[in-house]
């Protein structure tokens, strides 16, 4: 462009305007931080949100690590083995660690998708259930009926938990346990506690004593189960209530 005998370089003019109106890097940084905080807030809201209907994550499965994708049956077996619950994430009573939120945010950005239908595996005591050593696993529901492990936090479960959970895994396990316990008690019980026969106890008396023990153990277990709202793991692993 020409004005008299003077030429104007538009590029230079634009650079001059930029100098006069400097780019506010602090404002831009604040904007980026606010956007990041908004994303994190949405993730936390998704974790805590009640889900009136079952939602799924619409994602490209090929972008997810195969080793972190699990079927419902696999998750159920884990819950039964260690007596854990598998429920919607909003049932979790404790705060979700910020590192977990950041991990989810990074993964969502990488795959360009949002995780929905969040579920959690955790011990009953860490959950808000019907009546109002944690090691939770956070999952996202996938549209093929499987679940993607997003993160794990907390202390590892005590190794004894598996052993203690075995008798109450299902009815079959309990009956075996009650039978073995009855046999053990019968063996260590002094014979004069069972019979007054001077010739000693016979197998028939031992048999009746074992039946008595077996019935007593089951009656006691039933009473305690009803009193403390406990049930076999196979019946309550994915339930929201205690009973």
pLDDT digits (tens, 9 = 90+) for 62-90: 899 999 999 999 999 999 999 999 999 88
User: Whose CA is closest to 148, among 66, 45, 74, 238?
Assistant: 66
Distance CA 87, CA 129 (A): 10
Name the most confidently modeled range: 82-96, 149-163, 196-210.
82-96
Rounded alpha-carbon distances, angstroms, from residue 240 to 48, 85, 87, 92: 15, 9, 7, 11
Contact 96, 136 (CB under 8 A): no
CA angle 141-103-40, nearest 5°? 90
Beta bridge partners of 214: none
Of the pLDDT bands very low, low, confident and very high (cuts 50, 70, 90), residue 242 is very low
The conformation of residue 240, written as its DSSP 8-state character, comes to S
What's the pLDDT score for residue 34?
A: 56
Looking at the whole model, is its pTM more than 0.85? no
User: Whose CA is closest to 68, among 150, 135, 157?
Assistant: 150
User: Which residue is associated with the tokens 């831009």?
Assistant: 28
* Contacts with 202 (C-beta within 8 Å, 6 or more apart), sequence order: 195
Residue 122: is its pLDDT beyond 80?
yes
* Contacts with 173 (C-beta within 8 Å, 6 or more apart), sequence order: 166, 167
Instruction: Tell me the mean pLDDT in the region 208-224.
Output: 92
What's the pLDDT score for residue 230?
A: 86
Contact 86, 76 (CB under 8 A): yes
- The separation between the first and the last C-alpha atoms of the chain, rounded to the nearest angstrom, is 84
């Amino acid at each position: 462009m020409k004005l008299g005998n003077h030429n104007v370089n538009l590029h230079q003019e634009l650079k001059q305007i930029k100098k006069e109106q400097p780019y506010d890097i602090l404002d831009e940084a604040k904007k980026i931080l606010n956007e990041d905080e908004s994303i994190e807030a949405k993730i936390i809201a998704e974790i805590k949100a009640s889900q009136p209907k079952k939602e799924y994550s619409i994602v490209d499965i090929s972008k997810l690590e195969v080793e972190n994708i699990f079927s419902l049956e696999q998750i159920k077996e884990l819950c039964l083995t260690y007596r854990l619950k598998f429920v919607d994430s909003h049932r979790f009573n404790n705060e979700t660690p910020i590192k977990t939120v950041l991990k989810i945010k990074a993964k969502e950005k990488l795959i360009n998708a949002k995780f929905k239908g969040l579920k959690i595996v955790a011990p009953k005591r860490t959950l808000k259930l019907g009546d109002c050593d944690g090691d939770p696993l956070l999952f996202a529901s996938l549209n093929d009926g499987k679940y993607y492990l997003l993160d794990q936090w907390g202390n590892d479960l005590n190794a004894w938990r598996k052993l203690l959970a075995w008798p109450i895994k299902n009815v079959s396990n309990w009956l075996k346990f009650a039978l073995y316990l009855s046999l053990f008690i019968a063996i260590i019980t002094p014979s004069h506690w069972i019979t007054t026969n001077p010739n000693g106890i016979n197998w028939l008396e031992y048999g009746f004593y074992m039946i008595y023990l077996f019935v007593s153990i089951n009656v006691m277990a039933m009473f305690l189960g009803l009193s403390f709202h406990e049930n076999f793991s196979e019946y309550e692993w994915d339930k929201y209530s205690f009973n």
